[in-house]
A and B are shown apart, each in its own frame.
Chain A
Amino acid sequence: MINQLKDVVTGSAEIAKAMGVTLKYFFKKPVTHQYPDEPVEVYPRFRGRHVLKRYDNGLERCIGCALCAAACPTDCIYVEASENTDEKRYSPGERYASTYDINMLRCIFCGYCAEACPTEAIVLEHDFALAEYNRWDAIYPKERLLEPHDPDYIVLRSDEEFKLSETWGKK
């Protein structure tokens, strides 16, 4: 009998405590987003879906060197190169990528490809919403990667401060 009474008292105290927490958050700013109705914020250095860049004059930056493919730890980039001609020119110089596929299902977004690229053609941008209805569609061909991709459900946070540490790069 006495035990039951004890339970009721402590139980009520717990509930009150929990409700207190609820009450506290009730007045705070919510952390959830109305995604996708409201955009999500990501840090500028967040590594998401790749984009192949162009120069201002419209030529492709990619020269089909396949160094990205060589650097990729999951081997998910496939590059075939061809030769530019004066009539059909895709990139400056002699060589361009005639095929450039990335298998997004395999990519681990490490960014090594962007690191390896001598022309800063491949860049990991910010999109993370990469679901597809068909697995084959997860292999992004060159045409798709070359499209500028700036989805409106992502915005960059502006509060990231980039500080170069004195000790970086030193043992």
Chain B
Amino acid sequence: MSDNVTLTIDGVQVTVPKGTLIVEAAKQIENEIPVFCYHGKMDPVGMCRMCLVEVGQPAIDRGTGKPELDEDGNPVVRFFPKPMTACTTTVSEGMVVKVDTSEAAVDDRKAVLEFLLTSHPLDCPVCDKGGECPLQDLTIRHGPGNSRFDYEDKQHFPKRYPLGDLIVLDMERCIICARCVRFQQEIAFDPVLAIENRGRRAHIVSYSKPGFDSHYSGNTTDVCPVGALTTRDFRFGARAWEMTNVPSLCNHCGVGCNTVLGTRAGTIRRIMPRQNEAVNELWICDKGRFGHHFNGSPDRLTTPLIRKGEELVEATWDEALSLIGEKFGAIKSANGADSLGGIAGARLTNEDLYVFQKLFREIIGTNNIDHRVGLSAALEDETAFTVGVGVGTDLGSVGKGTTILNIGADLDQDAPILYLRVAGASVKRGAHVINAGGRRTKLDAQVQTTLRYNYGSAARLALGLLASVVSQGLVAKEWADSRTSGMADLEKALKNFGADKVAEATGLTTNAIDAAAKAFAEAENGIIIFGLEAGNDPALRAALEALALATGHAGKPNNGVIAVLPHANSRGAIDMGILPDRLPGYKPVESNAGLSAVEMLTAGGVKGLLIAAADPAVESESYKQALQQLDFLVVQELFLTETAQMADVVLPAKGNAERDGSYTNLERRVQTFDMGVPAPGKAWADWLIFTGIAGQLGADWAYASADGVMAEITQRVPLYAGMDFKNLTAPISLQRKTEHYIYEGMSFTTDIREGIQWATVAESDSAPKIPLRFIEPAKASSQEQGLTLVAPRMLYDGGRLLAEADVVNAHILEPQLMLSRSDAQKLGVSTGDSVTVSQNGTAITVPVYIERTVSEGVALLPRNLAGRPAEKLVGPNGLYSTVKVEKS
């Protein structure tokens, strides 16, 4: 029997797979059945009754078991006596559905709308949803013109009820469709909303503490089909029709969520998700949604500044650029090109970074460039070049048969939308997720297997898994033989390394490691994710690469490795060769490698430094001292950061909403964003500034736009071939659109672009064999006694880009040491007491907070908080270290 069924909807025949819902089948023939509670991303519940249709089935003759035929030989259709909800009824062969052709169904829907409006306040003029409201739209299309109910007899609720401090509820407008409740339950896995009471007294509540405690709360305002949920940030920011919707990208983490800037009168009013099924589906996290206020900040730099004695005074671009040209030129001729260097943050676009490295390599003549300061230095990754996830990988669709191994990434904090997709793969679609980490993270609750290893032993765990794959005979022989080399050597090295030591070092049982290895190797698809807390260890990366290759989980969609790099364009920074030893496209440098950021930020490292979009001065005292000793420091920034205050020349740069460009996300997807609002004052785009500096040093580049720079990248960096803006901004194909176009509940649309992923070595059959690498992990540092202090990255931190976002500021933690109850008891402290945390003579004092979710032996003190206490102990580039904690 075929897996398709054919049915007739309003006289039109359509063939769809078995199990399809009537609404979805109707969508395929562009018959839009009105819905409120149904949402393509959530399980149907049939709560609102808006989708009532008449459904009939061919009558079967009981005697013969054959379909009954009428006189003309057509099958007789028996209609169900009552209307059915199209959102919960699945199709069947020969079914006849009447949507608009049935008077009864039309009447039923009219009645449902009349009922929904009996208690609706009808305050559309002051409602943020007005103008893009499904209730308005469907009432006009399907509703009655007037109501038979008494206007005075409406149910009243408080108008402005804060569910949490980000989301405001207007219960009078709610139609109890439970989309918000279901979103939190089924998609965000933060079930913090519920419906209380029934009938007309039913209302939405949040019992979490603090209220509506979720990183994804803003999405409920998008899925809400009425204006019941609004964000405190946008409330009354503009009417829906007044805004210009500009396609953009979030610049807060490496996921690269597609967003829409709603702009009006030169300012950003709101940020909404833009559908991209391959990246963020229909969602963005609250940081991405609310963290845009830095753009319009009054503290932005608006003009170049030049140091005159102690003061930084305003200057023109000509003065600033020619001074830089003069000073850099002088330093170069006196001390050689290698006395100059550059540090560029991973928030810059590919175009900026490409021009940056070209300036240093081709015009100045040095390889002293790097992007690895702060968090960027805490995780490196070159495995993407060989075994990055295959082109076409879609974490939003993988399920049964897929094993995802996550090592050391706290996805809910580091890459929130990736968390949704991984948790969804596990809970909704049945993928096997193995969450390996040194501490408990939120993902643990959503996965089948958790592995808790000792901090610092991630590389050993990876090698243990690899060794276990080999010893259990699970190597994908054929593939590995044809595509990799050095298997025999690897096996030998693994034997010498000793798998038995792994259990001891990691604190895991051999059984657990074997089971995980088996689950990963035997899965149809295998994806490895690793993050900051796995440690910045080449041995780990070599082991993970070998693990992916040996198990054949590389070189095809839904297989391979994802490094959860920290910033919006961390991947692009590596691709563009912002490294002292690598050129764009992962080519090693031809001549000598240059100095790394850490070396440049050591006293005497270089004499002149250009720092763009990075703030090393706050990361560490020693960096600050090194910066003070420079002859000449140029800083290119949005704000007068601590580093900028030390500069000789400060150049104002444009924020990402003020220009166009491209980012490469952690799945190597290159995506573009457009300009939304004008830049403050005289700020320039970063690539233009670099071009200007190059001009002063004798270059005759003629880049006129980011587009033009990208055109050169496509020529000179083979990985990026074909990625000119024309291709990157091309709207998705019609077919993809009908597959994915489910902008449920949002009536505005803007370009849907999917971006382009570059292909890894493993994906090209003609590429040379990939050598399997083995790197001996560094010896565990002397077994100091004490707690492991972990300085995780929090979604809401004290970074400059969030500082202006008032609504999320309350969510930024005060520095506090989070301890497990048992460790706190051992120390004899309780919440609120202060403790001294020390390591190698550095000590800080912080209050204690006993946190249920912290595991024993681990103390958490997030990084990048006020005063940066954590960085003092773990260092500017680390995530954890062993410390002594004492009651003070």
Do A and B actually bind? Answer: yes
Is there contact, CB below 8 Å, between A95 and B126? yes
Asked if A93 contacts B239 (CB within 8 A), the reply is: no
CB contact under 8 A between A65 and B125, given known A70-B241, A94-B159, A94-B160: yes
CB of B142 within 8 Å of the partner chain: no
Q: Given the interface contacts A70-B241, A94-B159, A94-B160, does A83 sit within 8 Å of B236 by beta carbon?
A: yes
Q: In whole angstroms, how far apart are the Cα atoms of A63 and B123 in the complex?
A: 11
Tell me the residues in window 136-190 of chain B with beta carbons closer than 8 Å to chain A beta carbons.
159-160
Write out the residue numbers on chain B whose beta carbons fall within 8 Å of the beta carbon of A67: 125
State whether the Cβ of B442 lies closer than 8 Å to any Cβ in chain A.
Answer: no
Residues of A within 8 A of B130 (CB): 65
- Closest Cβ neighbor of B123 among chain A residues: A93
Contact A81 B125 (CB under 8 A): no
A82 near B236: Cβ-Cβ < 8 Å: yes
Is the pair B239, A94 in contact by a Cβ cutoff of 8 Å?
no
Q: How far is the CA of A97 from the CA of B126 in the complex (A)?
A: 11
Tell me which residues across on chain B come within 8 A of A63, comparing CB atoms.
125-126
User: Which of these, A69, A70, A80, A94, contacts B126 with CB under 8 Å?
Assistant: A94
CB of A48 within 8 Å of the partner chain: no
Given A65-B126, A118-B125: A70 touches B160 (CB 8 Å cut-off): no
Interface string of B224-255 (1 = CB under 8 A from A): 00000000000110110110000000000000
Which range holds the interface residue count of chain A? Answer: 10 to 19
Bound-complex Cα distance A7 to B4 (A): 104
Q: Is the CB of B235 within 8 A of A83?
A: yes
Which A residue's beta carbon lies closest to that of B170? Answer: A94
Q: Is the CB of B241 within 8 A of A81?
A: no
Q: Which residue of B lies closest to A85 (CB)?
A: B160
Shortest CB distance A29–B (Å): 49
A-B contact count, CB below 8 Å?
Answer: 33
Contact B242 A66 (CB under 8 A): yes
Interface residue range, chain B: 10 to 19
The CA of A63 and the CA of B241, in the complex, are separated in Å by 17
- Per the bound structure, the CA–CA distance linking A119 and B123 in Å amounts to 11
Tell which of B123, B236, B265 touches A81, judged by Cβ atoms closer than 8 Å: B236
Q: Are A95 and B239 in contact (CB under 8 A)?
A: no
CB contact under 8 A between A64 and B241, given known A94-B126, A94-B160, A95-B126 = no
Residues of A within 8 Å of B235, CB to CB, are 83
Q: Which of A118-138 contact B (CB under 8 A)?
A: 118-119
Chain B residues whose CB sits within 8 angstroms of the CB of A82 once the complex forms:
236
List of A residues within 8 angstroms of B125 by Cβ: 63, 65, 67, 118-119
B130, B235, B239 — which one has the most chain A CB atoms within 10 A of its CB? B239
Complex: A94 Cα to B242 Cα, angstroms: 20
Would you give the 0/1 interface string for A15-45, flagging 1 where the beta carbon is closer than 8 Å to chain B?
Answer: 0000000000000000000000000000000
Closest partner residue, chain A, to B160 (CB atom) = A94
Contacts of A80 in B (CB 8 A): 238
The proximity string for A residues 97-109 relative to B, scoring 1 for CB distances below 8 Å and 0 otherwise, is 0000000000000
Q: In the complex, what distance in Å separates the CA atom of A66 from the CA atom of B159? A: 20
Shortest C-beta distance, B439 to chain A (Å), equals 41
Other A-B contacts than A64-B236, A65-B130, 4 sampled, CB-CB below 8 A, are A65-B126, A83-B235, A95-B126, A119-B125
* Residues of chain A at the chain B interface (Cβ within 8 Å): 63-67, 69-70, 78, 80-83, 93-95, 118-119
Q: Which 6 A-B pairs have the closest CB atoms?
A: A65-B125, A81-B236, A95-B126, A118-B125, A66-B239, A95-B236
Q: What are 24 A-B contacts with C-beta separation under 8 Å? A: A63-B125, A64-B236, A65-B125, A65-B126, A65-B239, A66-B242, A69-B242, A70-B239, A70-B241, A70-B242, A78-B265, A80-B238, A81-B236, A82-B236, A83-B236, A93-B123, A93-B126, A93-B159, A94-B126, A94-B236, A95-B126, A95-B236, A118-B125, A119-B125
